[in-house]
Amino acid sequence: MKRKLRVRQAQTVLPFGVGAVLDIQGESFVAAGIETWPRLKTPVSSERLAARLGVKGFFAAPHTLNDRYDQPDRPGVPYVRFPGWLFCGACRTMVRFLYEREKPGEPPVCTSCAAAPRLTPMRFVRICPDGHLDDVDWWYWAHSKLAPEVRASCSEAKHAWKARRLSFRVADRASGLEALSVRCSATRQDGKPCGAERDLLDILGPQGGRCSGRNPWQRWHENASCGQQVHVVQRTAGNVYYPVVHSALDIPQSAEPPWAEQDAAQAVLGHPYWTILLDALGTSRADTFRGLIKEDTGACDSLIDQLVAEATGSPAPPAGRPGPEEIDLSRDEWYAFDAAHLPEPTKEFAIRRGGLGLKGETEEPWATLDAHIGGVVLVDRLREVRALAGFRRYSPGGTLVPADTSGRLRWLPATEVYGEGIVLALDEQRLTAWENDPRVQAHVRGVRTDLDASFRGEQLAETVGSDLSPRFLLLHTLAHLLIRQLSFDSGYTTASLRERIYGRPEYGQRGLLVYTAAGDAEGTLGGLVRQGEAPHLAETLIRMLEAAAWCSADPLCAEHTGQGFGNLNRAACHACTLLPETSCQTGNTLLDRALVVGSAHVPGYFTDVLTASREYAAATALGGTP
Ligand SMILES: [Zn+2]
Ligand SMILES: [Zn+2]
Ligand SMILES: [Zn+2]
Ligand SMILES: [Zn+2]
Ligand SMILES: [Zn+2]
């Protein structure tokens, strides 16, 4: 029977999007750039996301029964065999499996063994910080300990990249990488056997040799000249692939914030330099005044262009809309959730006001909890478009390789998903008071310093804002704790829930969205929304706070002054706070339980609630009336 290898459509953005290396039924492939995608594909609309990313639109991979692992010109997303070096587990022969040898529907097999066993992909690959990926030069590795002239005398030296006489040996006496070696059994020019061999003890890490400057689906001539250091890693290692995914929720047009633009326009027109700018137009002084106005009002260039056009009666500039970097997706989304009049439900966006159901409650800890929560919005239906902009390798700070390696296309691969969710907003007054506490400010200043020092600051700015605020850290940690608790209470896996943090004070943000988005246009089952209804949510929150006060890695975790990537986490580890990567907007960084439940050094936003809960529990345990 022919083997069928398939990747689901939703997986073609994450986790198996362009550049990803995937293991499937014992074979290994890499997802090729979108320039190799078939012509027949499904458009996915998201105007806001397209404007933000500066592309014309999005396409999803076509539905298909079999992806193009080894068959060109077929529907489905193309995956290219990688690594190209395979070996036979029986006779240990190494084979550079060339594209010409691919047989549709059949895995590569060993032609030296009578039983024709399947070949296994080599475990090691080469990556560089510019995002390139290639096979290890195994011929060179086997000969790397020899003097250059001896090496050159091997008869395979001229076509080393597809050398035919290599074997991947395993010794019984040693263990680990030392037990593995690559050996050459070619002959030398003088007729003697080559016999070059080197074990893999030192293979991992930085290696000599030039980077090929390309990814496996690119042709030889499509390489970039790359001067980066190459690193050998296992092909399944986490640093082989860091996808860069952007996503946007559909919100109704009516829900987009008119005020922000209008306020900025008013501020520009009322600025003392405005008329001076108009007089100075066309001179070099105009730029100075424009700069000053921008600085004072925060207006963007396109808005000023538009106002100048209106004032001078000249035709409006072609870019009547803001440039990509000026579009902030989170601002619009929060505006919709926080609106005084919630937008009318549409097929893509249906929300209604919920609550903890605790109004007028005097009993503790409920009364104190209620005072800390500013509002609940239930999201019965949402549509999210996720687009893959590209990927990085070696480190999250590596060079971005665009999804279109040809650089000619104006679209990105994307998927649309439907789902449901819960929006939780904190009480603005209490939040501001807590943020103004000097201990909170000092605590967050430390994290901000670490963020500036890490190379992730710029990448995270889209989510975090230009200046990390205490409320972002608080809301982000809260979202993680809530997802963990919801999954504990309701049977959702943590991987099926996601977060969106609205923690930028400059936009009046003070909330978070926990949602599940895996459904099609029919939507999901409403299970998560039910968890957000009274009385479940209040009970979930209290249980969450109790759980968050303690971690099995305490006191180590609680007292940490910097753990996780770039030391960007404080009291937060796998045992208490972290989530699967796909659930988190910031790659599991910028988390700290202390800001939620408090510590010896810093008050938590919910410390009072926790205290009230414990007093109540103690009082009832003693049999008294609380
Ligand atoms: Zn064999
Ligand atoms: Zn040799
Ligand atoms: Zn490179
Ligand atoms: Zn912990
Ligand atoms: Zn997160």
User: pLDDT (tens digit, 9 = 90+) per residue, 82-97?
Assistant: 999 999 999 999 999 9
d(CA 92, CA 101): 19
Q: Nearest ligand, CA of residue 212?
A: 3
Judged against a pLDDT cut of 60, whether residue 594 lies above it is answered with yes
For residue 154, report the distance from its CA to the centre of ligand 1, in Å. Answer: 23
For residue 171, report the distance from its CA to the centre of ligand 5, in Å. Answer: 45
Q: Alpha helices, DSSP H only, in 350-469?
A: 366-372, 428-435, 438-453, 457-464
pLDDT in tens, 467-477: 899 999 999 99
Judged against a pLDDT cut of 70, whether residue 412 lies above it is answered with yes
For residue 43, report the distance from its CA to the centre of ligand 4, in Å. Answer: 43
Q: Are 353 and 376 in contact (CB under 8 A)?
A: yes
pLDDT in tens, 129-166: 999 999 999 999 999 999 999 999 999 999 999 999 99
The residue extents of the domains of the chain are 256-326, 339-621
For residue 152, report the distance from its CA to the centre of ligand 2, in Å. Answer: 9
For residue 217, report the distance from its CA to the centre of ligand 3, in Å. Answer: 14
Per-residue pLDDT at 319: 41
Judged against a pLDDT cut of 70, whether residue 322 lies above it is answered with no
* DSSP secondary structure, 286-353, as one string: HHHHHHHHHHHH---HHHHHHHHHHHHTPPPPS--S--GGG--HHHHHHHHHT-SSPPPP-SSEEEEE
* DSSP secondary structure, 493-532, as one string: -GGG-EEEEE--GGGT--EEEEEEEEE-TT---SHHHHHT
Q: Are 214 and 132 in contact (CB under 8 A)?
A: yes
For residue 248, give the nearest of 348, 326, 339 by alpha carbon: 348
Per-residue pLDDT at 281: 86
For residue 113, report the distance from its CA to the centre of ligand 1, in Å. Answer: 4
Per-residue pLDDT at 327: 67
Confidence class of residue 318 from pLDDT cuts 50, 70 and 90? very low
Q: Nearest ligand, CA of residue 580?
A: 5
Amino acid identity, position 170 = V
Mean pLDDT for the stretch of residues 430-447: 96
List strand residue ranges (DSSP E) for 16-82, in order: 21-24, 27-31, 42-44, 57-60, 79-81
For residue 67, give the nearest of 46, 98, 36 by alpha carbon: 36
Q: Nearest ligand, CA of residue 584?
A: 5
For residue 195, report the distance from its CA to the centre of ligand 1, in Å. Answer: 19
Helix 607-621 with 536-548: angle, nearest 10 deg: 90
Q: Which residue shows structure tokens 């080559």?
A: 194
- The complex's ipTM works out to 0.90
pLDDT in tens, 324-365: 666 678 888 999 999 888 999 999 999 999 999 999 999 999
Give me the residues paired with residue 182 across strands. Answer: 168, 198
For residue 335, report the distance from its CA to the centre of ligand 5, in Å. Answer: 21
Q: Are 122 and 168 in contact (CB under 8 A)?
A: yes
Map residue 60 onto helix, strand or coil: strand
d(CA 13, CA 9): 8
Map residue 23 onto helix, strand or coil: strand
Token duo for residue 53: 């990313």
Q: Nearest ligand, CA of residue 196?
A: 2
pLDDT in tens, 101-122: 888 889 999 999 999 999 999 9
For residue 259, report the distance from its CA to the centre of ligand 4, in Å. Answer: 42
* Mean pLDDT over the full length of the chain: 90
Judged against a pLDDT cut of 70, whether residue 367 lies above it is answered with yes
